Amino acid sequence: MAVLTGKIAVVTGGSSGIGLAIARAFRDEGAKVFITGRRKEALDEALVELGADVTAVVCDSAVPADLDVLYETVREQAGHVDIVVANAGIGIQTTFGEVTEEQVDALLATNVKGTVFTVQKALPLLRSGASVILTGSSAATRPPHGLEIYAATKAAVRNLARGWAHSSRQHGFRVNVLSPGTVPTPGLLDLLPAEAREQSEEATPLGRLGTPEEIAAAATFLASNASSYVNGSELAVDGGAAQI
């Protein structure tokens, strides 16, 4: 039997890249999936691929009112949530000495504030035993040059999971961080030049970059009962790049 049969999953930032791969994997494992994105056009394209078991909601995770609309949709259509993947995030290249207030505000709003309210607003709908997955990054351990602020937001995400794990008994969930390494996605291709991607590939012990599907497989593990005693942890899926 598919490992997520009958589960209800929410994946923010699910219209492309890693989020889309996670939504696809969850669907293939039997879950009913709700995805979000800021652009309706991208969500419509994702739905063409994902099909009828997936619902798309236009939502900016940095806007709490948008999250209210998301979870009201989930409540009306499903009644509860078993899996929350707080995946929506942005990266901005910033040069130390030239960082702007707008850049900092944007990174904190989506990557930290968005993660906080994606999870907090899900609490009333979470079914006992729910799995909460926060998308981190290997950059939190080894911040690349020019991505220091982004890396700091992902370090904050790691610590949110550590703190929230203390609430597991009270709220009936377990929470973990999924931290990808360098994975070619539309967002990454815009962020890192080809030379930087080649350097990352060379620095990875496995000698290659990851794929969205490999990250999605790890997310499926964290969402499933196979990880029922995993809580407050970080699962690094980075080919060893930030581990040695």
Please report which residue ranges of the chain form alpha helices under DSSP H. 17-28, 40-50, 64-77, 101-107, 114-120, 148-164, 168-171, 186-191, 194-203, 212-223
Q: Which of 71, 121, 154, 229 is catalytic?
A: 154
Q: Does residue 150 carry a catalytic annotation?
A: yes
CB within 8 A of 236, min separation 6: which ones? 138, 141, 179, 181, 242, 243
Closest CA to 14 of 51, 52, 55: 55
Q: Which of 32, 121, 150, 229 is catalytic?
A: 150
Q: Does residue 32 carry a catalytic annotation?
A: no
Question: CA 96, CA 242: separation in Å to the nearest integer?
Answer: 22
Sheet architecture: strand order including 8-11: 54-58, 32-37, 8-11, 81-86, 126-135, 173-180, 234-237
Closest CA to 10 of 98, 92, 120, 87: 87
Q: Are 91 and 150 in contact (CB under 8 A)?
A: yes
Residues tagged active-site: 150, 154
